[in-house]
Amino acid sequence: MLGRLFIAAVFLFALPALHAVEDDSRLAVNHLRSIGQAMMIYAAENKGYFPERLSAVVKYVSPETFLSGRRRQAVDPKTMSAEKLAEWIDRDCDFAYVVPPMTKLAKLQPAHATPTVMERTTGSVVAVLYADGHVTEIGQTTQPTARTPMAAAMATTLPAGDLSQKLVGAWKIAFQNVICVYRFNADGTFTLDADIAPGQPPAHSSGNWRVEGRKLTIHNSASDSPVSIVGENEETEILGLSATQLVLANKDNKGKEERLLFSRELQAPAPIAIDKNKLAGTWRGFTTLVLGPNGFAALDSGGQGALKGTWVAEGNELDLQLAYPRQEIGGAEERMLRLSIDYLDDTTLVITGNVRGQQAGTIILGRQK
């Protein structure tokens, strides 16, 4: 069994909250599915166009559908006036609408990979609705057992070759109030840091580790926790391993088999130097971005035509000065759109910023030749 310290920590401090966390997860996913169905109905009734605002679909669902459960908002949408309800949905509800105004469903391609609504949450899990109607939770799962879809999907995913080299690094698993990080070092040593509960001192363990085939063996040589036994060998089977995720077999406190899903702790990327000549060009993805070598810029997010203006880049920041149409009175007004360039090479541009509408996010674009 893996991690006596980890299992004891979860059993003693986190177990009472797990059922509530699992219920919150189920509620968020189910509510997003309902919102997705409402958006499909809206599109069918409006010539294939998605709504300009999320509040436009409230007539198809109950007001409490816009609560996910995880943010614990002390509001009752059923008691709000129609005007207040629409304002709350568009600004403060538990879901953020990320589709630009006047977007056709047919333009959201590939539909299975294009987000339309994302959960607003301060936790480590975010539920996301995609244009094809399916919902996925992104981030650390709340209860990584065999019933967890992400862990089950990875159960047979193992890279070829020596698994020990690919295991080196830091791996985190998190429950509501419990965060455990295993660090497997290249010299065969490991450390375990466990933040068990608020107000409780963190627990630490260290020792050696080795991998033989799919079997991971951990030897505890030092610990400041009474639930981790010094001198004990712990063994588990590696069920799944990728660049970002690790699935380990385990038995819970009742002897029931389960799967533990870990996420790799990644170091923050170093700042990148932007080559303005390489940045210039036409980039396509969910959004089309044109950066001319003479400073001309155009941005088309699938709405009513492209926004045009100028661009400048300094450091890893890209500033777009664009003319937004004034639909009420005609004409246009200049607005600055500041984006962060996270990655750039000859074929790929990764930017972060508010490009899609109401919600900032990261977008991957490919160079159009």
Would you state the pLDDT for residue 11? 43
* Rounded alpha-carbon distances, angstroms, from residue 224 to 192, 195, 203, 227, 235: 11, 13, 6, 9, 21
Give exposure, 102-140, as e/b (b: 16+ Cβ within 10 Å). Answer: ebebebbeeeeebbbbbbebebbbbbbbbbbbebebeeb
CB 169 within 8 A of CB 181: no
* Residue 360, helix vs strand vs coil: coil
Neighbours of 69 (CB within 10 A): 20
Rounded Cα gap, residues 110 and 83, in angstroms: 35
Whether 144-264 shares its CATH topology with 276-368 is answered yes
Would you state the pLDDT for residue 210? 94
- Sign of the torsion formed by the C-alpha atoms of 224, 225, 226 and 232: negative
Per-residue pLDDT of the chain (369 residues; tens, 9 = 90+): 454 444 444 444 444 444 444 455 678 888 999 999 999 888 888 888 888 889 999 999 999 999 887 766 778 888 999 999 999 998 888 888 887 767 888 877 787 878 888 887 655 577 888 888 888 877 544 343 333 444 444 444 667 778 888 899 888 876 545 678 889 999 999 998 877 655 567 778 899 999 999 999 999 898 876 556 778 888 888 888 877 778 888 765 566 676 777 888 765 455 566 788 889 999 887 678 899 989 999 888 665 567 889 999 988 889 888 887 765 445 667 778 888 887 788 888 888 776 544 344 567 778 887
Domain positions in the chain: 13-139, 144-264, 276-368
Write the class of the CATH domain 276-368: mainly beta
- Look up the pTM and report it: 0.40
Q: Please provide the CATH number assigned to the domain covering 144-264.
A: 2.40.128.280
